[in-house]
């Protein structure tokens, strides 16, 4: 069973838990900032949830290489489904970074580990009231 989906496709090649989730409470309006009395006014527009997932392959180099190619494809907008609370969260956004480490090169076989991918939403998943 896959923990995450990209564009509706499951990737069952191994995932390292914990998955890192971060929330950015974005204050981005014309009335936000420092006031004349030096107080700070914050108008929170919404909350953006980003995810960083680390994947350790189960030993299938072809599946790992295919995943890497898909993650690094120059596609602007993707759909993600990731764990959220006791259910899941689906959102559109982009893949921000993809990184891994070559841990062994032996007899023409490269072994890669620690693939980390970061999903960034293109709009807030929660809007301020």
- CA torsion 75-80-7-116 (nearest 10°) is 60
Q: Alpha helices of 15-126 — where are they, by DSSP H? A: 61-71
pLDDT for the residue 84: 94
Residue of 122, 129, 108, 117 lying closest to 48 (CA atoms): 122
CA-CA distances (angstroms) from residue 128 to 21, 29, 48, 67, 85? 20, 12, 11, 36, 20
pTM for this predicted structure? 0.83
pLDDT for the residue 16: 76
pLDDT for the residue 120: 97
pLDDT for the residue 106: 93
Give me the average pLDDT of each 10-residue run along the chain (129 residues).
Answer: 85 80 84 83 88 87 90 95 94 96 92 93 91
- From the options 3.40.630, 2.40.30, 1.10.10, 2.60.40, give the CATH code of 5-127: 2.40.30
CA-CA distances (angstroms) from residue 81 to 27, 39, 102, 110, 129? 25, 40, 28, 30, 25
Q: Using only C-alpha atoms, what is the Rg of the chain?
A: 19
pLDDT for the residue 107: 93
pLDDT for the residue 90: 96
């Amino acid at each position: 069973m896959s923990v995450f989906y990209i564009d509706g496709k499951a990737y069952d090649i191994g995932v390292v838990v914990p998955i890192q989730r971060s929330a950015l409470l974005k204050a981005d309006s014309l009335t936000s900032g420092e006031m004349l009395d030096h107080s700070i006014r914050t108008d929170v527009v919404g909350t953006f949830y980003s995810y960083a997932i680390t994947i350790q392959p189960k030993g299938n180099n072809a599946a790992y290489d295919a995943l890497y190619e898909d993650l690094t494809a120059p596609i602007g907008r993707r759909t993600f489904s990731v764990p959220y609370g006791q259910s899941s969260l689906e959102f559109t956004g982009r893949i921000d970074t993809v990184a891994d480490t070559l841990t062994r090169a032996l007899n023409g076989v490269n072994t890669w580990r620690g693939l980390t991918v970061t999903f960034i939403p293109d709009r807030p998943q929660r809007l301020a009231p």
